Amino acid sequence: MLAVLRLGHRVSRDKRITTHVFLTARAFGADKGYLSGEKDDSAISNIQDISKRWGGEFEVEYIDDWKNFLTRLGSTVVHLTMYGIPVGDKISEIRKHKDILVVVGGEKVPTEVYQLADFNVSVTNQPHSEVAALAIFLDRYFEGKELDRNFPDAKQRIIPSDKGKRFG
């Protein structure tokens, strides 16, 4: 089980990027999403709708108290941060753990997250985006196999084509 927790969501400013975090999580092999920060039912239902249409069982759950959640969940917590240890140096060790929670931040990440995490991992030590960091982390974690993943019970499927759009 690999889940993704998105911290510090703000309804007015983060709708699009938070949606992209979860769509990326789903497309790149995560099983479940958790949203923390401001409660946003429409962002959650938007992802559920996309998920239903494109298949698989990815769901997002709202978490009111992320600190309590992180301490009680029992998963190995991998916090993605530009201040962390390079992903290439830690990924083999992380892969040995069965249940993983990948945490990505928003604008400001509370210092407790760094303390509570089992691994603080960077994807370069340059500032960029939670979406990019998550995509690269998941690709390293799944060693590229996530690109061939099947999404069962999809109502809509793409038939890859050289030119134009084809649906099956």
**Interface residues toward ligand SAM, by CB under 6 A:** 80-82, 104-109, 122-124, 126-130, 133
Comparison of 47 and 117: residue with beta carbon closer to ligand SAM? 117
The Cα 90–Cα 85 span in angstroms is 7
Comparison of 56 and 105: residue with beta carbon closer to ligand SAM? 105
The Cα 109–Cα 62 span in angstroms is 18
Q: Are 34 and 65 in contact (CB under 8 A)?
A: no
The nearest distance, CB 70 to ligand SAM, in angstroms, is 14
The nearest distance, CB 126 to ligand SAM, in angstroms, is 5
Q: Are 37 and 10 in contact (CB under 8 A)?
A: yes
Instruction: Classify residue 126 as exposed, middle or buried by CB count within 10 Å of its CB (0-12, 13-18, 19+).
Output: exposed
Comparison of 54 and 106: residue with beta carbon closer to ligand SAM? 106
Q: Are 47 and 23 in contact (CB under 8 A)?
A: yes
Q: Are strands 32-37 and 100-104 parallel, antiparallel or unpaired?
A: unpaired
The nearest distance, CB 130 to ligand SAM, in angstroms, is 4
Comparison of 136 and 154: residue with beta carbon closer to ligand SAM? 136
Comparison of 45 and 124: residue with beta carbon closer to ligand SAM? 124
The nearest distance, CB 79 to ligand SAM, in angstroms, is 7
The nearest distance, CB 129 to ligand SAM, in angstroms, is 6
Q: Are 94 and 119 in contact (CB under 8 A)?
A: yes
Among all residues, whose Cβ is closest to ligand SAM?
105
